[in-house]
Amino acid sequence: MTEVVERKATNIHWHDGDVTRGDRAAMLGHKGVTLWFTGLSGSGKSTVAVAVEKALAARGVLSYRLDGDNIRHGINSNLGFSAEDRQENIRRVGEISRLFADTGVVVLSSFISPYFEDRALVRKMHEDNDLLFMEVFIDCSLEAAESRDPKGLYKKARAGEIRGFTGIDDPYEAPLQPELHLRTDQMTLEDEVEAVIKSLQERGIII
Ligand SMILES: Nc1ncnc2c1ncn2[C@@H]1O[C@H](COP(=O)(O)OS(=O)(=O)O)[C@@H](OP(=O)(O)O)[C@H]1O
Ligand SMILES: Nc1ncnc2c1ncn2[C@@H]1O[C@H](COP(=O)(O)OP(=O)(O)O)[C@@H](O)[C@H]1O
């Protein structure tokens, strides 16, 4: 296993099992992969992930969603939205995604993940361990995301009640070469789901 950050612990040893990733894929009938949904707040990451999860379940494919808002209630409840905290948030959920993908699950990870470097680290965690990783850019203009404002957060950010809000007074570095690019302000949800499923089929991840 490749390490992506400095490890503090010493005298620890990797312990292999007898059941392989291939064995697990054969049991499930599909491969594991992480689909990494990145985009502005309100761009549609959670909406697309929920719809893809449903479509996969209908095909008998085991998937699991990891969502920023949810994860920040639990394992990452000690992190805020500074660049350092977002980096640690993404590192931890990247590791969790990697573990789930190794089990054979189709992982649907939805995080704003605004920085190139943090997303590149998650890709590396997967690729260094021969795990499939697909960056899915959930692309939506700031104007459209702000007019949706499903949680009223843009309104609060504009009013100065939230500081460091992505897209308003905090950066979002758009992916340059995502495996999939979905313009949610120009496509229907049905077409977005179809594009994801097709892409998984084309890569031989699901039948
Ligand atoms: N300052 C600030 N900036 C951006 N988002 C904020 C902020 N404060 C709270 N929220 C809420 O937190 C959700 C984003 O969490 P993430 O873990 O995805 O963020 S990040 O990847 O670490 O940047 C985000 O969820 P989504 O709207 O689903 O993206 C918001 O509900
Ligand atoms: N084509 C589309 N794809 C995804 N979401 C859409 C689309 N059109 C409108 N929406 C709406 O945009 C909002 C996106 O919110 P959400 O999924 O919570 O975004 P995020 O998880 O990125 O913050 C939802 O209210 C959803 O119904």
Indicate which ligand has the atom closest to the C-alpha of 161: 1
pLDDT at 120: 98
Q: What is the pLDDT of residues 16-58, one digit of tens each?
A: 999 999 999 999 999 999 999 999 999 999 999 999 999 999 9
Cβ neighbours for 207, distance < 8 A, ≥ 6 positions apart:
29, 30, 59, 201
60 assigned to a ligand binding site: no
Neighbours of 149 (CB within 10 A): 15
- Distance, in Å, from the CA atom of 87 to the CA atom of 166, rounded to the nearest integer, reads 14
pLDDT at 5: 75
Q: What is the percent of the chain with per-residue pLDDT over 90, rounded to a whole number? A: 96
Q: What is the pLDDT of residues 148-165, one digit of tens each?
A: 999 999 999 999 999 999
pLDDT at 97: 98
With a 6 A CB cut-off, is 46 part of the ligand 1 pocket? yes
Are 136 and 37 within 8 A, CB to CB?
A: yes
Tell whether the model's pLDDT for residue 2 goes beyond 60: no
- Distance, in Å, from the CA atom of 134 to the CA atom of 107, rounded to the nearest integer, reads 10
Looking up tokens 């699950």, which residue turns up? 105
**Arithmetic mean of pLDDT over the chain:** 97
Neighbours of 28 (CB within 10 A): 17
Q: What is the 8-class DSSP label of residue 131?
A: -
With a 6 A CB cut-off, is 47 part of the ligand 1 pocket? no
Q: Is the dihedral of CA 197, 202, 203, 207 positive or negative?
A: positive
Average pLDDT over residues 119-147: 98
Q: Which residues are catalytic?
A: 113
Helices (H), ranges, 133-182: 142-148, 153-158
pLDDT at 25: 98
Element (H, E) at 34: strand 33-38
Distances (CA, A) of 38 to 138, 140, 159, 172: 6, 11, 25, 10
Question: Closest Cα partner for 186 from 143, 125, 134, 132?
Answer: 143
Q: Is the dihedral of CA 167, 172, 177, 179 positive or negative?
A: negative
β-sheet bridge partners, residue 66: 109
Mutate to test the pocket of ligand 2, among 143, 148, 193 (most ligand atoms within 8 A of CB): 148
41 assigned to a ligand binding site: yes
pLDDT at 1: 56
Average pLDDT over residues 170-180: 98
pLDDT at 149: 98
Q: What is the pLDDT of residues 53-88, one digit of tens each?
A: 999 999 999 999 999 989 999 999 999 999 999 999
**Domains along the chain with CATH numbers:** 21-202 (3.40.50.300)
pLDDT at 7: 86
Alpha carbon nearest to ligand 1 atom 27, residue: 41
With a 6 A CB cut-off, is 144 part of the ligand 2 pocket? no
Calculate the dihedral angle through the C-alpha atoms of 47, 50, 53, 59, rounding to the nearest 10 degrees.
-80
